[in-house]
């Protein structure tokens, strides 16, 4: 008995049916003529998996992903261990989904990097939403600006737990000086989805502003990203 035959029926790879090639061709045609709006979420996932799983029927896997994570965006943003728990997906399928996520984030970042932040604020928020909105733990990032408020770099500074990230003002300012930034924007996410600042968030922001000002580095803003929402300290009058 082969290893494949030894698997229980629910874990065996679903073979390509005789009509699968035609189904794939129809999906490709609809996508190329009608764009992404012509396909449902599960069909977009199917197409994402076509190249990674060339000999598999990807429709059941796509439907299992939607049942587990709720949407295309949630599926490609899900943690790798959770994705590996989907029967039939495997490392190749997981890599395909995470590649789409990485590509979307790179494209969003390209729209804001080396451009003035104030005149590209909406696109900056779109990028930060793409990177942070679906993260399951808190992540603290630093955006470094030059003297024309152009974005020089975006770097993760720390990761924490589901509701806390350790941040050290001295390290923040030190890194700003290393990249020759004249201003910084603090960014972190709230996995709860609510971007309302905590007392700790407010106190930490004040400490970093004080440390930065001592070395002529401007704290331009602190943005908290929730799921579909964000809060600017400057616009909220907290800075």
Q: What's the CA gap between 63 and 57, in Å, rounded? A: 11
pLDDT in tens, 133-189: 888 888 899 999 999 999 998 998 866 544 455 678 889 999 999 999 999 999 999
Q: What's the CA gap between 218 and 185, in Å, rounded? A: 9
Q: DSSP letter string over 47-77?
A: HHHHTTSTTB--HHHHHHHHHHHSSHHHHHH
Model confidence at 221: pLDDT above 60: yes
pLDDT in tens, 42-66: 999 999 999 899 888 899 999 999 9
Q: What's the CA gap between 142 and 140, in Å, rounded? A: 7
Evaluate the CA torsion angle 229, 233, 236, 238 in order and state its sign.
Answer: positive
Domain 116-232 in this protein, CATH class = alpha beta
Burial group, residue 161, by CB count within 10 angstroms (0-12, 13-18, 19+): exposed
Q: What's the CA gap between 170 and 210, in Å, rounded? A: 10
DSSP letter, residue 13: P
pLDDT at 15: 52
Q: Report pTM.
A: 0.70
Q: What is the largest CA-CA distance in the chain?
A: 72
User: What are the CA-CA distances from residue 61 to residues 83, 84, 93 (Å)?
Assistant: 11, 12, 10
Model confidence at 6: pLDDT above 70: no
Are the beta carbons of 219 and 186 closer than 8 angstroms? yes
User: What are the CA-CA distances from residue 83 to residues 33, 86, 124, 201 (Å)?
Assistant: 30, 6, 28, 32
CB-CB neighbours of 232 under 10 Å: 18
The residue ranges of every structural domain in the chain are 13-107, 116-232
Q: Which residues pair with 185 in a beta bridge?
A: 143, 221
Burial group, residue 133, by CB count within 10 angstroms (0-12, 13-18, 19+): buried
Model confidence at 219: pLDDT above 80: yes
């Amino acid at each position: 008995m082969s290893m494949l035959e030894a698997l229980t029926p629910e874990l065996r790879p679903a073979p390509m049916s005789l009509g699968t090639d035609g189904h794939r061709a129809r999906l490709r045609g609809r996508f190329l003529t009608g764009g992404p709006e012509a396909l449902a979420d599960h069909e977009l996932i199917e197409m994402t998996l076509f190249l990674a799983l060339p000999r598999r029927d990807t429709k059941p896997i796509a439907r299992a992903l939607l049942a587990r994570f709720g949407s295309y965006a949630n599926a490609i943003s899900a943690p790798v261990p959770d994705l590996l728990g989907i029967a039939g997906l495997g490392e190749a399928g997981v890599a395909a989904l995470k590649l789409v996520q990485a590509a979307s984030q790179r494209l969003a970042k390209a729209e804001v990097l080396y451009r003035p932040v104030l005149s590209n604020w909406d696109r900056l928020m779109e990028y930060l939403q793409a990177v942070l909105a679906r993260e399951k733990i808190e992540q603290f990032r630093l955006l470094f600006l030059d003297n024309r408020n152009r974005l020089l770099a975006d770097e993760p500074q720390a990761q924490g737990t589901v509701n806390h990230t350790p941040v050290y003002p001295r390290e923040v300012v030190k890194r700003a000086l290393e990249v020759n930034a004249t201003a910084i924007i603090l960014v972190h996410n709230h996995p709860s989805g609510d971007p309302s600042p905590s007392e700790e968030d407010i106190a930490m922001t004040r400490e970093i502003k004080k440390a930065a000002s001592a070395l002529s580095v401007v704290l331009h803003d602190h943005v908290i990203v929730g799921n579909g929402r964000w809060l600017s300290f400057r616009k909220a009058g907290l800075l």
